[in-house]
Amino acid sequence: MSMEFCDECGSMLTPKKVDGKVIMDCPKCGEGRELAKKDQVLKQKVKREKEETMVVIENPDEINTMPTKRMRCPKCTIVVDIQYWAVQTRSGDEAATRFYRCTKCKHTWREYD
Residues taking part in catalysis: 93-94
Q: How far is CA 97 from the centre of its chain?
A: 24
| CA distance linking residue 46 with residue 42, whole number of Å | 13
The strands making up 97-102's β-sheet, listed across from edge to edge, are: 68-72, 79-87, 97-102, 108-111
Name, in order, each residue with C-beta under 8 angstroms of 106's C-beta and a sequence gap of 6 or more.
61
